[in-house]
Each structure stands twice: as structure tokens, then as C-alpha cells.
């Protein structure tokens, strides 16, 4: 049973008709009615030592920031505004006080940065390593929520920033590179300190131009396949259009990796992936550029199913070729969005 099968199994066992529940399992957040015009967005993500992070190279302050960022990113994915956070922190009995203080500082600074109040949680003793689970609650206009299931054939597919940098950064950290090395800083920081696209997400939701949206945690191949499956459509992606390739070249050479694999399957980018009518391509570019954002068209939604990559004239199916916690032989040290991811 892989991760998708497990989530689907759980989903089929759950009631979907709760009071005020607009959407349960299957998107970046659960959506609950707040009042006639407004909804609550709820999401939860966990970071586990040795699965999602390695204390050897993850500075505690940045780890705290990342635990908040990956949750906030799911609120951004719907177009919402983060408001409250709950934290469950598991630490070994002999945790280092200074380390825990820096971790807490990172958590509180990130909450502050995104306008989110930490309102409660739990602290527990962990027999094996550090774990951080956050629940974030956001809100937004009910009629502006951007779901994964509204992509339409003919839509242009967009991403909000470079792909594969976090995966390349992780590979560099595993190869012993550090933040002290200027050359790799940009890629390492993409992994250690991701920046969720909260403002852009809200802007896109309020623009009324976007059909479907999610954040990218498991790699383009898997994340786009989620949009396609939920929307009952297929997708074409053009390899030459994927942003961020130049910055991956040197790392690819050093580590004998094809940068294309990072671009297509690398996880934890926390960029936004969205679709909008191709008729609005110029308008979307103009509006986002005027606000100082760069967004990149990378392909087209088509009738049918599956995600295909066209690279240097070669077509390849890449559906769900990203990260899966339970796939045989899957690499560790990256994360996913099980639950309401």
C-alpha cells in the first residue's frame, strides 16, 4: 500500500457530512463554514527527525521556521490568510536547552512573520528523536477558495518560482556542503528555510482568474498529478519552461545528477502550482508582474489523464513520480502532506 492508497482508504472510512464541513480529506486544507461569506481553513503537517530533517545540518532556528512554513504553505495553497497555530513538540528526554530555545525562537518568529498566533499545543518526551506537528487555522472568503479539482482542459499551468532547488539543496547537505559555502547557499536555504507564498496565494484567489491551485511539497510530477486526478484531466509539461534549471547545473555536475530529475520530482519547493484559462495568460502575467511577482507558465491542461513531460523532443509519463513516504526504496529526508495536505 503506498501513501495515496492509504489516504484514500482512510478517506473512504470518513463521514463527509459534518456540520459546516465544505471539504474534508483530499485538498491542501479542510474547509469549514465560518459564516455565510467566510470559511475556516485547517491543515496539519509533521516534521520527524531522520525522515524530514537531520539535526546535524538543520540549524534549530531554521527548523522551527520550516515547521511553521510548511503548514502556512497549505493555507497559501487555498488562497487563505493564516491566523492561528497549535504545536505538538516531541523532544528526547535529554534535549539540549539551547537547541530547544533556538527552535522555539524560530517557531515564534515565523508565526509573527506570517501574522499567525501560536495559541496552544502539547509537549511530550520522545523515545526516538525530535518531532514537530503543527496545526494551522486560516480563513478566507468562501467564494474565493481555490481547490485542486477545478482545472479545465485548455488551462495554462503555472508555478510561482524555481523548482528542484530544495531537493538539490538536500543532496548537497547530504554530500557535506554547508551554509558557510557561498556557492551553494541559495540551494541549501531553499531546503532549510522555505518561504511559503502567502501573499501571492491571496492575490491569486482574489484575482478570480485561477481555476485550481495547490502548493508543491512532493515534486511537480506528483503534485500536478494530484490536480489532474482531482480535476479528471491530463497535463502536458514542457521541460524547457521549468524555472530554476540554471541554478541546478553546478550541483548536478558535482553530484552526477541530471538537474531535470530535481526539477520534475524534487520535493519541498513550497511554490504554488495553479491553472488558469489560457485566454487570461497575458492578464495574469501583467497583474502579477505589477505586484512584483514572477510566475511561470510551464504547460497545458488537456482532456484525458496523466502528466506527460516533453523534454528535448522526448515525451515521458511522469505522473506521481515524486515523493511517497511508503513507496519501496523511497529516499528519506523529505516530507509530504498526508492528512489534509
Q: What minimum distance in Å lies between the beta carbon of 273 and Mg ion?
A: 9
Q: What minimum distance in Å lies between the beta carbon of 29 and Mg ion?
A: 8
The nearer residue to Mg ion, 61 or 337, going by C-beta atoms, is 337
Looking at beta carbons, which residue is closest to Mg ion? 28
The nearer residue to Mg ion, 91 or 110, going by C-beta atoms, is 110
Task: Answer yes or no: are the C-beta atoms of 335 and 268 closer than 8 Å.
Answer: yes
Q: How far apart are CA 73 and CA 67, in angstroms?
A: 10
The nearer residue to Mg ion, 251 or 273, going by C-beta atoms, is 273
Neighbours of 140 (CB within 10 A): 25
Cross-strand partners of 140: 39
The nearer residue to Mg ion, 196 or 259, going by C-beta atoms, is 196
The nearer residue to Mg ion, 3 or 74, going by C-beta atoms, is 74
Q: How far apart are CA 76 and CA 200, in angstroms?
A: 8
Q: What minimum distance in Å lies between the beta carbon of 218 and Mg ion?
A: 8
Q: What minimum distance in Å lies between the beta carbon of 341 and Mg ion?
A: 4
Cross-strand partners of 232: none
The nearer residue to Mg ion, 280 or 336, going by C-beta atoms, is 336
The nearer residue to Mg ion, 106 or 341, going by C-beta atoms, is 341
Cross-strand partners of 124: 90
Q: What minimum distance in Å lies between the beta carbon of 17 and Mg ion?
A: 24
Query: C-alpha cell of 236?
Result: 502536458
Q: Which residue in 224, 245, 242 sits closest to 168, CA to CA?
A: 245
Q: How far apart are CA 215 and CA 198, in angstroms?
A: 10
Neighbours of 15 (CB within 10 A): 7
Tracing cell 523532443 back to the chain, one arrives at 313
Q: Which residues bind Mg ion (CB under 5 A)?
A: 28, 74, 215, 337, 341
Q: What minimum distance in Å lies between the beta carbon of 157 and Mg ion?
A: 16
Q: What minimum distance in Å lies between the beta carbon of 7 and Mg ion?
A: 12
Task: Answer yes or no: are the C-beta atoms of 255 and 175 closer than 8 Å.
Answer: yes
Q: Which residue in 140, 145, 146 sits closest to 38, CA to CA?
A: 140
Amino acid at each position: 500500500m503506498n501513501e495515496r492508497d492509504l489516504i484514500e482508504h482512510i478517506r473512504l472510512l470518513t463521514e463527509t457530512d459534518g456540520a459546516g464541513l465544505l471539504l474534508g480529506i483530499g485538498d491542501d486544507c479542510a474547509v469549514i463554514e465560518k459564516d455565510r461569506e467566510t470559511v475556516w481553513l485547517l491543515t496539519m503537517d509533521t516534521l520527524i527527525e531522520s525522515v524530514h530533517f537531520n539535526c546535524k545540518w538543520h540549524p534549530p532556528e531554521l527548523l522551527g521556521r520550516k515547521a511553521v512554513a510548511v503548514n502556512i504553505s497549505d493555507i497559501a495553497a487555498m488562497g487563505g490568510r493564516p491566523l492561528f497555530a497549535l504545536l505538538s513538540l516531541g523532544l528526547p528526554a535529554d534535549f539540549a536547552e539551547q537547541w530547544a530555545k533556538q527552535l522555539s525562537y524560530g517557531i515564534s518568529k515565523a508565526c509573527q512573520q506570517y501574522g499567525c498566533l501560536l495559541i496552544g499545543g502539547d509537549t511530550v518526551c520522545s523515545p526516538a528523536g525530535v518531532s514537530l506537528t503543527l496545526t494551522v487555522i486560516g480563513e478566507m472568503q468562501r467564494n474565493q477558495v481555490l481547490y485542486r479539482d477545478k482545472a479545465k482542459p485548455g488551462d495554462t499551468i503555472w508555478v510561482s518560482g524555481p523548482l528542484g532547488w530544495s531537493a538539490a539543496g538536500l543532496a548537497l547537505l547530504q554530500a557535506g556542503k554547508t551554509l558557510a559555502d557561498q556557492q551553494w547557499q541559495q540551494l541549501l536555504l531553499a531546503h532549510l528555510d522555505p518561504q511559503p507564498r502567502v501573499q501571492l496565494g491571496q492575490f491569486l484567489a482574489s484575482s478570480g482568474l485561477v481555476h485550481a491551485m495547490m502548493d508543491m511539497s512532493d515534486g511537480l510530477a506528483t503534485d500536478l498529478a494530484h490536480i489532474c486526478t482531482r480535476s479528471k484531466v491530463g497535463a502536458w509539461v514542457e521541460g524547457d519552461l521549468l524555472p530554476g534549471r540554471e541554478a541546478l547545473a553546478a550541483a548536478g555536475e558535482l553530484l552526477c545528477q541530471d538537474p531535470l530529475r530535481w526539477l520534475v520530482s524534487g520535493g519541498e519547493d513550497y511554490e504554488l502550482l495553479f491553472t488558469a484559462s489560457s485566454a487570461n495568460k497575458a492578464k495574469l502575467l501583467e497583474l502579477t508582474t505589477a505586484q512584483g511577482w514572477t510566475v511561470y507558465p510551464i504547460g497545458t491542461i488537456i482532456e484525458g489523464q496523466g502528466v506527460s513531460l516533453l523534454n528535448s523532443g522526448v515525451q515521458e509519463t511522469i505522473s506521481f513520480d515524486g515523493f511517497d513516504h511508503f513507496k519501496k526504496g523511497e529516499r528519506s529526508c523529505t516530507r509530504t502532506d498526508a492528512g489534509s495536505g
